[in-house]
Every structure is written in structure tokens, then in C-alpha cells.
Amino acid sequence: MDNNLPFKIFSGTNSRYLAEKICTSLGCPLGKMKIERFADGEFSVSYEESIRGGQVFLIQSTFPSSDNLMELLLMIDAAKRASASSIIAVIPYFGWARQDRKDKPRVSIGAKLIADMLSAAGINRLITMDLHADQIQGFFNVPVDHLYASAIFVDYIKTLDTDNLVIATPDVGGTKRASSYAKYFGLPMVICYKLRKKANEISEMQIIGDVTGMDVLLVDDIVDTAGTITKAADIMKASGARSVRAIASHAVMSDPASERVTQSGLTEMVFTDSIPYSKKCEKVVILSVADVFANAIRRVLSNESISSLYIL
């Protein structure tokens, strides 16, 4: 891309690996930015090239730690003060999305708070992928382009032997997501029903449906400690499944997730690269969403519809 063209792409520290892939797909350079860190943990952001009057795309997932979110907020503020005409936040993984409602008294709605913070900082548009709850789009008063990892997972599923395949969800909350895949491929679906005593701890799980002699594909959006998905896989195997694989959009993979996946009955655990995954686990496969985001950015720039990017 010629530096005189009216858009530029910048990245936060921990999403640079994905930003570079997106820029390669778009055929443009990654913008120059400087992030200085002080001894007390505070940091500052500055653009090393002019962005006056241009469209600015800021690529940063807001996964833990909260430094990633704070870095993005400072990038937005700096772009606004540098007279960018439009600021588009590209957040492949939208953190705090699991706090989307008051599920008990006296708790915060974290997803709404993050939406307010991004809006107050000055974004004009949000591009994200597989929000934990679709209604989070309504927390924003700016356009939200909500992409789906199904754009790459469908191609992955087509490489599997679908004659004996059954789609499964590791919990009742993911039924709609799993049902979309089952309908698209014309496959049967089973559901895991779980009861929790507290967060990240499952007390009971049961299967609704028959998996005997079947190849099971578990579908989820976020894998954090991997307790649910590995327990579901083990129960599927114990119930007669021939094999169990899993696909999930976001590899949060907090310890001891990698160890659990390694020791589980899963044949394969497939993620996108919305979050960097650097731990060693032979069962984990990473598929890139760079082309999906590049296509969305290209269409935003040319004012084209992005609905054709939605496979299911």
C-alpha cells in the first residue's frame, strides 16, 4: 500500500502476529507505532507516522491481562487526538464477553462496561469475531461487524469423514451454535448437560443423545480451563464414541488447560489464532482467521456488504 492511501493498520503489542498476517493478506505494510513502558507498569502510545484525515484500523484482542485492553484504549485516544477521520477497532477476541448480564444480584455487566469504554475512547466501528453472546452488539451505538469462525471451520469439517460424524455441544448454552453446523452439513446433534457448583468447576455432566460408534465433533466458542470440553470428550468416549474432536474460536487456555487436553480423550483440538497460543500441546491445531478479517476490512473500505462472509 502506498503511504498516501487513506487508510492505515496498526497493532497492539500482543496481537502483532495476527496484524502482520492481515497486512500480508491486504498487501499493505503495518503502521509504525511506539509503545513505551515505564518502571511502574504504566505505558504510553504514539504513532510514528501521520494519520491525519485517514481511516485507522487498530488490531488488538482484549484477552488477559488487562494491559491489552488499556493499550487499545490508549491507541484509540491517540488516534483521535492525531485527527484520524475514522477509528475502527478490530478485536478478534472480545474479552469480558462472558459478563453479558446480571446472573445474580450485585454484579457488574463487564461486556457493557467495555463497550462504553471503547465508545468513550472514540471508536467509529467495531469488527470482532464470535462474541460469547450475540446481544453484546447492542451494547454499542456504533456499527458492529460480527464475523464468525465458521468461515474457516466449515472447510476444516469438510476434510473429515462426515459419513459417521455427529455434532455435539459441551453445554446447553452452545446449542444454537452446534445446531447451525448440524443443519448446514445435515448431521445429527447431541448435547451435554452440565451442572456447576462454581465457576470453572463441573459437578455433573450427562449426554442427551446417542454417540455409540460415532465420530463426535464438539463445537464451542471459548475454551478457558478446558474442564468442560475435556470432560465432555471423556464422557463421549466412555459412552461408545469412536473418536472425539473439538473446534473452538478462542484459545484462552488458562492453566491447566493444555495438560487437560493432552490427557483427555480428544483426538484433536482446533482453534483460530484470535488469541496467541504458545504452549506445547500436540493435540492443538491452529487455523488462521487473518484472511477473514482482511476481507472484512477490504469491504469496509469499499463500502461493500460483508454478509457474504457469513457461511452459517
Question: Would you name the residues annotated as active-site residues?
Answer: 194
As a whole number of angstroms, the longest Cα–Cα distance in the chain is 62
b/e sequence 183-209, b meaning 16+ C-beta within 10 Å: eebebebbbbebeeeeeeebeebebee
* Neighbouring-strand partners of residue 200: none
Q: Cα–Cα distances in Å, from 25 out to 28, 250, 297, 298?
A: 8, 21, 11, 10
Q: Which long-range contacts (CB under 8 A, 24 or more apart) does 276-279 make?
A: 276/14, 276/15, 276/17, 276/18, 277/251, 277/253, 279/253
**Quick one: which of 248, 255, 30, 238 has its CA closest to 129?**
248
Tell me how far apart the alpha carbons of residues 201 and 198 are, in angstroms, rounded to a whole number: 6
